[in-house]
Amino acid sequence: MLRIVIVEDEKHGRETLKNLLLEFCKNVEIVGMAGSVEEAVEVITREKPDVVFMDIELQTGTGFEVLDRLKGFGFEVIFTTAFEQYAIKAIKFSSIDYLLKPIDLDELQQAVEKARLRKGEDAYKRQLEILLANIQPEGPKNRNICLATAEGIEFVKLQDIEYCEANGSYTNFHFRDGKKIIVSKHLKEYENLLEEYFFMRVHNSFLINMHEVKKYVKSDGGYILMNSGALVSISPKKKDEFLLKMKSIH
């Protein structure tokens, strides 16, 4: 039985989610509900649930404040929000589940089953720690990202990524030390996540760390030489933007 706490500041929202969980998700028990940061901390501490459905925006604060005030993480978190706001980027960095309101039933069932399978994993605690670090306005100097692979979760520093390469519906991450990780997400998703951290999509197949560029070579239609010696194609229409960004870095 999966013991669940719902944190949502609107009573109607709490009741709706409770009813969806009880009617459409197997072996779940709602052990508590809360509408504020204070109530959430109290209920979660008392009930020690397996899963917390956490609204990001509460009238008295945020779901992140609730997590910040709890000692350790012995539970899974599934965030809920009505908005595609800045916080979603931090959540995606941590490979943690979130649901957009109005909540899609299939997505709800999938999130519950994933939480059931992942219950008690130490890696998940690390994901939450990275989320709380990344959500700060300035964020950590050496920002981390969690990459979900077939084997589990890899925790990597952005500065260690040299470039990302499209591989159908997968993305190959290439690192400065020669390591490679394959992730089952499209390159476009990582383009959206990383573009503000000096990563640039220079070609349909390549997203590069601009700090890892050794030089731009004009011959043969133009290509980029990375610090590792890797050669990366550049689209002609991206050349001017690339050169402009390189000037801003150096």
β-strand partners of 29: 3
Percent of the chain with pLDDT over 70: 97
Binned at pLDDT 50, 70 and 90, residue 26 comes out as very high
Q: How confident is the model at residue 104 (pLDDT cuts 50, 70, 90)?
A: very high
- Please, what is the average pLDDT of the chain? 93
Mean pLDDT of 24-47: 97
In this prediction, residue 139 carries a pLDDT of: 58
Gap between the Cα atoms of 173 and 207, Å rounded: 9
Is residue 119 over pLDDT 90? no
> How does pLDDT run across 51-66, given as a tens digit for each residue?
999 999 999 999 999 9
Give me the mean pLDDT over the 138-166 stretch: 89
Q: Set out the domains of the chain in order of their start, with CATH numbers.
A: 2-134 (3.40.50.2300), 150-249 (2.40.50.1020)
